[in-house]
Amino acid sequence: MNRRSLLQGLSFSMLAAKLSGTSSPFGEAEEPQPEPARPIAANDRVNIGIIGPGSRGQELIRQLLRTPGVEIAAQCDVYEPRFAEVNEFVGKKVPAYKDYRELLERKDLDAIFVATPPLFHAPCAIAALNSGRPVYCEKTIGFTPEECTNLVDAVARTGQIFQVGHQWRYGSWITDGIQRVQRGEIGEPTHVYGYFHRNDNWRREVPKPELEHLINWRLYRESSGGLLEELGSHFIDLANWVFGEQPQTILGTTSISTYNDGRTVGDNVQAVFGYSKGRTMFFSSILDNGIAGAQLWVYGTKGALQITLEDSTIYWEKAEMITAASHSKVIDRGLKTGASYQAETLTPYRGPGLRTQMKKEEDPTLTACKAFIQSVRTRKQPFANVDVGYGSGIACSIGRQAIFEGRVATLPQLKRLG
C-alpha cells in the first residue's frame, strides 16, 4: 500500500501531517500549562473526555460508567458513527468533536482518555498532558522510540498523572501469581513464554471499501505494529514486571502464512526479548490456529506460573532429591547400565494435586479505571505509570522495525530528564 491509498482511507488530519513530514499539529510545540490540575475531592464528579471511542475506547467507557463519581463529558473521533454508538450506551448525548484539540479546549474536563490507534497515542497524550489534565493512554505509549521518550519527558515536565492501559497489572489473579513468583515460589524466574494464538483473521468489518484503512488500521504497517504491538505488548509488560526491568534486545520474525488479503503486517509473529543475566521472553502469535489460546508461562528454577485471561496456576517441579531406603542396593549390587531415555522426564507435567489456582473476579479494565480515577483524586501516580508504559512501548516500537527488517536490535533504556 502506498501513502496515497492510506491517506484516502484514513482521513485523520494528523496522519496526513505525520506521514507527509509537514509541520506537526500534534501539540508538541504547545506550551505546557504551568500549574497542575487541582486535586478533586472524594465526592466531586470527575469529568472525562475520551479521544478515540472505537472498540477499545468504548470498553473503557463501559467500565468508567461502573466507576462511582465519573461523568463521560466529551468524545472525539474522526469516524462519526462512533458518536451515536457511545450516546446509545452512555444513555445521553455526549458532546462530540472531530478534532481532539477542540476537546482539549474544554475547561471542565478533569481527565483525558486516549484510545486512538497507537499511531496517535503519543501526540494526543502529550497534548492532553500539556493542557494540564491527567491522562489514561492505551498501550503502547508511542509508535516510535522518540515518541516513547517524548511522552516520558512530558509526564515529568508537566507533573501530571499518567496511566498506561496495561490493565492486566490490575487483574487480581495475575497480581497474585506474580507476587508469588516474586516471593520465590517457583525459584528464580528465568524465562517467560507468551502465546497469543487465535483462529481469526483479525479483520474488522468495513461498511465501505474506502474506510478499509481507517477501520482496519491494525493490518497495515503505516499505522500498526501488528501482533507484537497489539497483543504482545501485554505479555512483554508482564515479563518486565516479573524481571523488574525492560528488555535489552529483540530478535524476531514475521510472515503471512494464511491471510493474503492485502495486509502488510504479518499474520504470525515470533519474537525473543533478551533481559539481563541471560533471561529471556519469548512471544508467539498466530492467527490461523487457536488451540493454545492466550497464555503466559513464567518458568522458574523450581516451578512455573501459568497465567490465562481467566485464572493463574502454579506448578512445581518434582522434587530432585529423594531419600531412598534402597541405597544399600546401589552399594551392594552396583548400578545397572542400560538405555538413558526416560519418556516421563520429557512429558509435560500433568499430575494432580500440585496446583495453586487463583481465579479471576473483577474485570481488570474496571479495576484499572477505578485505580486511575483514584489517582486523579489523590494526585498519586498509578501502578501502571509512564515508566511501565515505556518498558513495553520501547520494546514494541523497536521490535516492530527489527521484525520487519529481520535483524537483532538493541533497545534504549529509560533515561530520566536531568
Partner 1 sequence: MNHRKLPDLEYVDVRNKRRTRFGGLFAPPRATPSTTPLQLYSATHPAMGTEYSLYLYAHSGAHADSIAKPVFQEVDRVEGLLSNYQPGSELSRINREAFQHHVTTDPETFRFLETCLAWSERSQGAFDISVGKLMKVWKFFGASGAIPTPEELAAAREDVGWKKIKLDRTARTVRFLAAEIELDPGGVGKGYAVDRAVGVLRARQVGAALLSAGSSTIYALGAPPGEPGWKVRVPSARKGEDTVSTVILQDTSLSTANLSEKNFVHEGHLYGAIMDPRTLRPVEGMLQVTVISPSATDSDVLSNALFVSGPEDRAALLEGRQQACALVILENQLAAEYEATRWPAEVANGHLAELADAEER
**Pick 24 or 289: Cβ nearer partner 1:** 289
Contact with partner 1 (CB under 8 A) among 24, 258, 276, 374: 258
**Pick 38 or 66: Cβ nearer partner 1:** 66
| Nearest approach, Cβ of residue 258 and partner 1 (Å) | 7
Q: Determine if the peptide bond prior to 140 is cis (ω within 30°).
A: yes
All cell numbers assigned to 114 = 486516549
Give residues 310-349 in contact with partner 1 (rule: CB under 8 A): 310
Using rule CB under 8 A, residue 56 touches partner 1 = no
**Pick 289 or 410: Cβ nearer partner 1:** 289
| Nearest approach, Cβ of residue 127 and partner 1 (Å) | 29
**Pick 64 or 161: Cβ nearer partner 1:** 64
| Nearest approach, Cβ of residue 213 and partner 1 (Å) | 12
Contact with partner 1 (CB under 8 A) among 361, 378, 406, 412: 361
Q: How far apart are CA 370 and CA 10, in angstroms?
A: 33
Give residues 262-281 in contact with partner 1 (rule: CB under 8 A): 262
Pairing of strands 96-97, 70-76: parallel
All cell numbers assigned to 39 = 486535586
List beta partners, residue 317: none
All cell numbers assigned to 21 = 513530514
Cβ–Cβ under 8 Å, residues 84 and 56: no
| Nearest approach, Cβ of residue 393 and partner 1 (Å) | 27
Q: Which stretch binds partner 1 (CB under 8 A): 300-308, 353-361, 382-390, 397-405?
A: 353-361
Contact with partner 1 (CB under 8 A) among 62, 101, 157, 379: 62
323 φ/ψ sector (left φ>0, alpha ψ -120 to 50, else beta): beta
Contacts of 219 (CB under 8 A, 6+ apart): 202, 203, 262, 263, 264, 265
Cβ–Cβ under 8 Å, residues 64 and 70: yes
Using rule CB under 8 A, residue 43 touches partner 1 = no
Q: How far apart are CA 154 and CA 404, in angstroms?
A: 29
Cβ–Cβ under 8 Å, residues 189 and 277: no
Contact with partner 1 (CB under 8 A) among 77, 147, 212, 230: 212
Using rule CB under 8 A, residue 157 touches partner 1 = no
Q: Which stretch binds partner 1 (CB under 8 A): 126-134, 241-249, 258-266, 407-415?
A: 258-266
Cβ–Cβ under 8 Å, residues 141 and 365: no
Using rule CB under 8 A, residue 110 touches partner 1 = no
Using rule CB under 8 A, residue 201 touches partner 1 = yes
Contact with partner 1 (CB under 8 A) among 1, 19, 65, 409: 65
Q: How far apart are CA 193 and CA 120, in angstroms?
A: 29
| Nearest approach, Cβ of residue 94 and partner 1 (Å) | 12
Say how many CA atoms lie within 13 Å of 185 toward its Cβ.
20
Q: Which stretch binds partner 1 (CB under 8 A): 34-42, 135-143, 206-214, 389-397?
A: 206-214
| Nearest approach, Cβ of residue 286 and partner 1 (Å) | 14
Q: Which stretch binds partner 1 (CB under 8 A): 32-40, 241-249, 356-364, 405-413?
A: 356-364
SS3 label, residue 82: helix
Task: Render 173-233 in DSSP notation, one character per residue.
Answer: HHHHHHHHHHTTTTSSEEEEEEEEE-BS------SSGGGHHHH-GGG-TTT--HHIIIIIH
SS3 label, residue 30: coil
**Pick 66 or 329: Cβ nearer partner 1:** 66
All cell numbers assigned to 149 = 521518550
Count residues binding partner 1 (CB under 8 A): 26
Contact with partner 1 (CB under 8 A) among 30, 42, 89, 102: 89
Using rule CB under 8 A, residue 91 touches partner 1 = yes
Using rule CB under 8 A, residue 30 touches partner 1 = no
Q: How far apart are CA 405 and CA 160, in angstroms?
A: 37
Using rule CB under 8 A, residue 90 touches partner 1 = yes
Cβ–Cβ under 8 Å, residues 240 and 246: yes
Q: Which residues bind partner 1 (CB under 8 A)?
A: 62, 65-69, 89-91, 201, 203, 205-206, 209, 212, 258-259, 261-262, 310, 359-363, 366
